């Protein structure tokens, strides 16, 4: 009744356009110096991309089984009717296009525990899974804990609807027949021994891990040979902690369980039905054993390092101060930090180019210098972001060596950039490319651009631009679109095409 009254008043206020805020409160807010509440997150363009993240995940604990007896006037001893505890929820990482970096994650993620069993053979409900969305291109490295496994969307097994979670029979006969569509190969081994979900010691060899995960249907696995390579990409201190590189999420919707929920404990109904093959004589289970089986097992824990290899359509590659961020701002609505000193960009910035029918993502990769592949400058941490780009745009500073400046002429910048990419990974520069000659407004830049055209052979398109004033950027937008669409054959840049003194 009261609620109906409040609802009615709110509807009236809404209809008449009046505010339900008291007058004094509105005035106080108006007069106050305190700024009105800001949105929690800054707009996308103002945020720095978080591309590496340490995560502690814990599955929910299993609920305890219940000990209860249904007694009647004629049966004083009673019949056991205590239900099993529910399974704890899993922590699941889901690949999604709705997040673009790892900044929205929390370091500690816990799934819900299962509910305890209850009398009248009532099974405790399963703890809720915690599903965390990660961007496309996330690589999962295991630092500590159990090996993650993939979630299969379609179970190959016919599930028997009356299978009781946590009962000994289920585990001993068919571990994957637990309620839910999660393939439980990882826990199969662990459950088989005790039937109560006590985890087996984790595998100790890389190959063992990869085999086990591939059994689970993971398609985009990082192959054993790649492991050391990938570990080498990660900064030294983090790499030393990494046990395994487990998986790479590249398809939206892919899910990986990183921490499993514990199994529910057994109620006394299930305990009274312990099969003979497990325990020679059911009556021989002593009280300690009973108590142990009754208690739900704790959820597994894992410490992971998530690493993002961004998937952008276009990567801007250039020396520090070449004007990459300025150009990104000129062609898209991104507003990256711009300054006249080198290494203003410390993490890749992403921008979106919107066309009538499509949109293209552009990543501004922090400045590369000679020796970047050996970790000079900002190091090779950002070179991995280039791996997934379809198209490369080399941004060159046409004025770096003009007017007495001590920088490298544009053709040398270009050669260095291509060489750094190739040193990092052979073939990395072998993709459709274009060249942007920036700062054409500067003294001597036009002459430098003419010479650049003579020194770079082949068909790679070149655009002279002034990114600060936005001159010539329309041509780049068209050029990028053509290259990304891949409709026409595109020239690629090779080291032999660049002539330097
Ligand atoms: N004259 C002139 N200056 C430019 C132009 N584009 C960029 N600049 C200047 O060049 C400097 C560097 O620009 P940024 O966009 O920060 O360069 P960056 O390549 O992103 O640099 P890092 O962050 O070090 O990688 C800034 O002072 C810009 O104002 C241009 O077309 N003409």
Question: One digit per residue, pLDDT tens: the chain, 501 residues?
Answer: 454 554 555 455 455 444 444 444 444 333 444 444 444 444 444 445 677 889 999 999 999 999 888 888 887 778 888 999 999 999 999 998 788 778 889 999 999 999 999 999 899 999 999 999 998 888 888 888 877 776 655 444 443 433 333 333 333 323 332 222 223 333 333 333 323 222 223 333 333 333 333 333 333 333 334 433 443 444 444 555 666 677 788 888 889 999 999 999 999 888 777 654 444 554 556 677 778 888 999 999 999 999 887 667 898 988 888 888 889 888 886 666 555 555 555 566 777 888 887 888 888 877 666 766 666 655 566 677 777 788 999 999 999 888 788 888 999 999 999 988 888 888 888 889 999 999 999 989 999 999 999 999 888 999 999 999 989 989 999 999 888 887 766 778 888 888 887
Cα 11 to middle of ligand 1, angstroms? 54
DSSP per-residue codes, 182-236:
---HHHHHHHHHHSS-PPPPPP-SHHHHHHHHHHTT-SSPPPHHHHHHHHHHS-H
Q: Do 337 and 345 form a contact (C-beta atoms < 8 A)?
A: yes
Angular region, 246: left φ>0, alpha ψ -120 to 50, beta rest = alpha
pTM: 0.55
Residues 313/358, Cβ–Cβ less than 8 Å: no
Q: Which atom of ligand 1 is nearest to the CA of 465?
A: 31
Q: Ligand 1: list residues with CB < 6 Å.
A: 318, 320-326, 338-340, 342-345, 366-367, 438-439, 441-442, 466-468
User: What distance in angstroms lies between residue 369's CA and the mean position of ligand 1's atoms?
Assistant: 15
337 alpha carbon to ligand 1 midpoint, in Å? 10
Give the CATH fold of the 314-497 domain: Rossmann fold (3.40.50)
- Which of the 8 DSSP states describes residue 70? E
Q: Where in the chain is the domain with CATH 3.40.50.300?
A: 314-497
Domain 48-149+206-308: which CATH class?
mainly beta
Looking at the chain, the domain(s) classified CATH 2.70.210.12 span 48-149+206-308
Find the 468 Cα to ligand 1 centroid distance in Å.
8
- For atom 3 of ligand 1, the residue with the nearest CA is 439
- Written as six digits, the tokens of 221 are 């696995």
ipTM for this model: 0.97
């Amino acid at each position: 009744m009261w609620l109906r009254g409040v609802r009615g008043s709110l509807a009236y206020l809404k209809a008449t356009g009046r505010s339900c805020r008291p007058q004094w409160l509105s005035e106080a807010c108006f007069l106050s110096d305190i700024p009105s509440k800001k949105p929690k997150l800054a707009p996308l363009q103002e945020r720095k991309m978080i591309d590496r993240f340490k995560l502690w995940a814990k599955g929910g604990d299993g609920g305890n089984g219940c000990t209860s007896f249904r007694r009647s006037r004629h049966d004083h001893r009673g019949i056991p009717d205590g239900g099993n505890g529910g399974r704890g929820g899993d922590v699941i990482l889901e690949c999604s296009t709705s997040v673009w970096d790892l900044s929205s994650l929390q370091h500690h993620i816990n799934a819900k525990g299962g509910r305890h069993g209850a009398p009248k053979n009532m099974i405790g409900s399963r703890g809720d899974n915690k599903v965390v969305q990660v961007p496309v291109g996330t690589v999962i490295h295991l630092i500590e804990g159990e090996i993650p496994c993939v979630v299969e969307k379609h179970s190959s097994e016919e599930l028997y609807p009356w299978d009781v979670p946590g009962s000994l029979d289920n585990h001993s006969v068919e571990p994957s027949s637990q309620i839910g569509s999660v393939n439980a190969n990882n826990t199969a081994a662990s459950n088989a021994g005790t039937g109560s979900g006590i985890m087996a010691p984790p595998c100790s060899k890389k190959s063992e891990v990869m085999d086990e995960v591939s059994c689970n249907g993971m398609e985009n696995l990082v192959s054993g040979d790649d492991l050391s390579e990938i570990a080498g990409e990660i900064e030294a201190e983090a790499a030393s902690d990494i046990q395994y590189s487990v998986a790479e999420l590249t398809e939206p919707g892919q899910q990986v369980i990183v921490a499993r929920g514990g199994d529910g404990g057994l109620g006394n109904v299930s305990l009274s039905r312990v099969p003979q093959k497990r325990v020679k004589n059911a009556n021989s289970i002593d009280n300690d054993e009973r108590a142990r089986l009754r208690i739900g097992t704790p959820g597994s824990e894992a410490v992971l390092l998530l690493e993002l290899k961004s998937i952008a359509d276009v990567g801007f590659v250039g020396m520090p101060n070449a004007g990459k961020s300025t150009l990104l701002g000129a062609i898209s609505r991104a507003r990256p930090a711009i300054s006249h000193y080198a290494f203003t960009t410390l993490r890749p910035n992403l921008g979106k180019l919107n066309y009538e029918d499509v949109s293209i993502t552009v990543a501004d990769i922090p400045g590369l210098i000679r020796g970047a592949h050996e970790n000079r400058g900002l190091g090779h941490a950002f070179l991995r972001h280039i791996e997934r780009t379809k198209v490369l745009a080399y941004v060159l500073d046409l004025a770096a060596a003009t007017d007495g400046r001590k920088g490298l002429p544009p053709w040398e910048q270009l050669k260095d950039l291509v060489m750094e990419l190739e040193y990092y990974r052979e073939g990395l520069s072998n993709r459709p490319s274009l060249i942007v000659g920036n700062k054409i407004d500067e003294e001597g830049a036009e002459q430098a651009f003419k010479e650049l055209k003579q020194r770079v052979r082949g068909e790679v398109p070149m655009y002279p631009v002034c990114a600060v004033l936005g001159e010539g950027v329309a041509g780049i937008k068209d050029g990028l679109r053509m290259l990304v669409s891949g409709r026409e054959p595109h020239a690629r840049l090779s080291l032999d095409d660049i002539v330097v003194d």
